[in-house]
A and B are shown apart, each in its own frame.
Chain A
């Protein structure tokens, strides 16, 4: 018997998406992931002042806005031939680290926990009908307490960001050279104090909570694997004096780790609603135009590929590539890698803060070149993020973005290979057709951000209507 399961909205992600799965003999035999939100940032950026990209691109996503300010700044620095000093990098990376912590804490508690832990259903927000809750009452209650406690902790991660970044989300601090302001002693102490309480929360509650859940949902170590190819652009790495504190740009393919080469990135559009001179193009070339008449296309998300192959990006990829965590590649491994990474990021931030020199100003008077090109490639919370920009007559003439959720949620590529998350959903066993909790749990383990993935310009098209059918 063939069934079709459509989940829309996939809640507890950023943005809007639909999962459309075909089920035979209780297992997924075909699946599509579709992003359902379009604004068109790449087109909007054309003609604007290059400096504005730092602030403008943050509005792509309210949960990972700092990530975009960092990538946009790096793209500008590359176009302007500016190498930020070490103090500037430390400061910027501390801000970036604050966002990692805010994201990981919110994703684990606010987005993941409701899948595995029964929340108080006296609050309408937490009402759910599925019954696959396996934790004994005491353990469940304990994690519910931490769910509410985490609201204060994730909030304090944004407070820490605002100390040096003005406000969050959509900070004002990250800019060419590092950040706009100086770290004074009182600010350094304030950040240290907040960081300490966050570290204690991660160590004493978040990591134990993740392992508690893992203990009762062991089957989730066996699903959601995908291709098993991992990629990182690197982050918190190659400091002049401190070396690499986390992960270098690396890829993991068929069991082998090799050095990442940015020239090997392409975007494929065979199954996406776009046309260009070729169905495969580079992020430094012309952007593709919308073409909704392609019969086999089914998604607005393009297919970023490295040497023609889909890759998984994010915390598990980084933990694996840096050698911090190598248990496996699965739904639950992704969740554990995320909480372990939170601890790692807090540790790295501690080192960076220790190396700050108070009162150093890293700002200069900058001049925009008449014509130039640049790229900013950096790993952010959800994975590898790239901004590519071209400047002509002092303004932005082309802007291209490839986001982490572009990598993870991509459509099929030209060689018919499914996207990373699509592949992870394949062969999943569905226990209860009325409550197919497995699909949402697998998708959320990638921490998808559809606001980011479907930022690109595209013409609209009526989405087909599909119902669950026998």
Chain B
């Protein structure tokens, strides 16, 4: 097993997740790797991360549920419903599992703003379930902006008093911010856990594999920024810094990874980056689009 760290540019390449997954496949075939239980909890959010996960390819969702893990629970996709669904969830408690969480945790009114099911007649809140399953998991992966730091669910004035998963749990939470989370960021992180354990994380607990470099530093329009050539409206092909682009403060690999079978990403679509993968999104990244600014970069 090769544990030396290749350079970040290399590891961040498009193939990263795929290569890790190929290793997982090999190890499973060799009988060296045991498929682990995976619980996917949807909490206070929009279910956009499970939808984004379905957009994954090589590895895809079928591979995840059939080869990589025992995918035990997900509100959006499971066949069981009601009490039977909750039995399935509660049956995992006490066993070994990896926990993937999307959505923030609504804390207002003792968590009653988000009830995810009913167990033995009593409502189970997002707050209950994350406390119960978060502390006992072998690893907790927070997917998307809401789970990572509250995200849009916690946007001001935050009517549901939503917080990120870390605020509830006194343990390490691996964070994959982004709105939504790219399927590769999750699949790559999960594959790394299955093969080598926890991936290297930065000081905000994001895998350096994906979050090590600013969008701005790999932006194909960087030369326009350096020459001071700025777009005046959307649709132009020059630097969109003055339209509100948050590429200069956002650490993520969108410029080289791209989205949805790697066909496109916001800047190639002639719109500014809105900083969805950065902590503080959305409030600290607004306004997303502006036509009347002479702005400066502030980290």
B291 at the binding interface (Cβ < 8 Å): yes
Cα A126 to Cα B158 in complex, Å, equals 36
Cβ distance A278 to chain B, nearest Cβ, rounded Å? 23
Chain A residues, Cβ within 8 Å of B259: 162, 166-168
| 8 Å CB interface, B204-257 against A | 232-236
Cα A209 to Cα B188 in complex, Å, equals 35
B76 at the binding interface (Cβ < 8 Å): yes
Q: Taking A62-B48, A62-B51 as contacts, is the C-beta distance between A127 and B156 under 8 angstroms?
A: no
Is A55 within 8 A of B115, CB to CB? no
A-B contacts, 6 of them at CB < 8 A, read: A13-B76, A162-B263, A180-B269, A458-B159, A460-B113, A465-B121
| 8 Å CB interface, A60-79 against B | 60-63, 65
Chain B, Cβ-Cβ closest to A443 = B81
Chain A, Cβ-Cβ closest to B113 = A38
Is B112 within 8 A of A8, CB to CB? no
| 8 Å CB interface, A162-181 against B | 162-170, 172-173, 175, 180-181
Pick from A42-50, A134-142, A315-323 the stretch touching chain B.
A42-50
Chain A residues, Cβ within 8 Å of B85: 9, 11
If A37-B115, A460-B109, A467-B121 are given as contacts, then 17 extra A-B residue pairs at C-beta distance below 8 Å, sorted by A number, are A16-B114, A18-B118, A40-B158, A52-B289, A55-B289, A59-B151, A62-B52, A110-B76, A125-B71, A128-B79, A151-B60, A156-B261, A180-B270, A363-B236, A366-B291, A440-B81, A467-B120
B88 at the binding interface (Cβ < 8 Å): yes
Chain A, Cβ-Cβ closest to B232 = A365
Q: Taking A9-B116, A55-B288, A365-B233 as contacts, is the C-beta distance between A151 and B61 under 8 angstroms?
A: yes
A106 at the binding interface (Cβ < 8 Å): yes
Is A8 within 8 A of B118, CB to CB? yes
Chain B residues, Cβ within 8 Å of A13: 76
Chief secondary structure at chain A's binding surface: loop
Chain B residues, Cβ within 8 Å of A127: 79-80, 88
Is B80 within 8 A of A166, CB to CB? no
Q: Taking A37-B113, A465-B121 as contacts, is the C-beta distance between A11 and B289 under 8 angstroms?
A: no
Chain B residues, Cβ within 8 Å of A181: 235, 269-271
| 8 Å CB interface, B42-64 against A | 44-52, 54-57, 60-62
A218 at the binding interface (Cβ < 8 Å): no
Cα A391 to Cα B251 in complex, Å, equals 33
Cα A14 to Cα B47 in complex, Å, equals 7
Q: Taking A11-B80, A12-B81, A110-B77 as contacts, is the C-beta distance between A365 and B291 under 8 angstroms?
A: yes
Q: Taking A18-B118, A123-B66, A461-B109 as contacts, is the C-beta distance between A167 and B266 under 8 angstroms?
A: yes
Residue of A165, A169, A190, A362 with highest tally of chain B CB at under 10 A? A169
Chain A residues, Cβ within 8 Å of B261: 155-156, 159, 162
Cβ distance A227 to chain B, nearest Cβ, rounded Å? 25
Cα A59 to Cα B270 in complex, Å, equals 21
Chain A residues, Cβ within 8 Å of B276: 170
Q: Taking A127-B79, A151-B61, A463-B112 as contacts, is the C-beta distance between A40 and B160 under 8 angstroms?
A: yes
Interface size class of A (residues with CB under 8 A): 35 or more
Residue of B110, B113, B114, B160 with highest tally of chain A CB at under 10 A? B113
Is A48 within 8 A of B286, CB to CB? yes
Is A106 within 8 A of B114, CB to CB? no
Is B109 within 8 A of A7, CB to CB? no
B152 at the binding interface (Cβ < 8 Å): yes
Is A162 within 8 A of B289, CB to CB? no
Is B266 within 8 A of A166, CB to CB? yes
Cβ distance A389 to chain B, nearest Cβ, rounded Å? 15
Chain B residues, Cβ within 8 Å of A362: 235
Is B84 within 8 A of A128, CB to CB? yes
B78 at the binding interface (Cβ < 8 Å): yes
A349 at the binding interface (Cβ < 8 Å): no
Is A363 within 8 A of B233, CB to CB? yes
Is B235 within 8 A of A43, CB to CB? no
Cβ distance B195 to chain A, nearest Cβ, rounded Å? 22
Chain B, Cβ-Cβ closest to A119 = B79
B8 at the binding interface (Cβ < 8 Å): no
Chain A, Cβ-Cβ closest to B40 = A125
Is A8 within 8 A of B82, CB to CB? yes
Cα A360 to Cα B217 in complex, Å, equals 30
A241 at the binding interface (Cβ < 8 Å): no
Chain A residues, Cβ within 8 Å of B270: 180-182, 363
Chain A residues, Cβ within 8 Å of B153: 39
B280 at the binding interface (Cβ < 8 Å): no
What 6 A-B pairs come out closest when comparing CB atoms? Answer: A62-B48, A40-B159, A460-B109, A166-B269, A363-B235, A162-B260
B11 at the binding interface (Cβ < 8 Å): no
B6 at the binding interface (Cβ < 8 Å): no
Cα A154 to Cα B76 in complex, Å, equals 15
Chain A residues, Cβ within 8 Å of B236: 363
Chain B residues, Cβ within 8 Å of A44: 152, 155-159
Q: What string of 1s and 0s marks CB contacts (under 8 Å) between A427-457 and chain B?
A: 0000000010000100000000001000001
Which residue from A40, A155, A451, A466 sits with its C-beta under 8 Å from B57?
A: A155
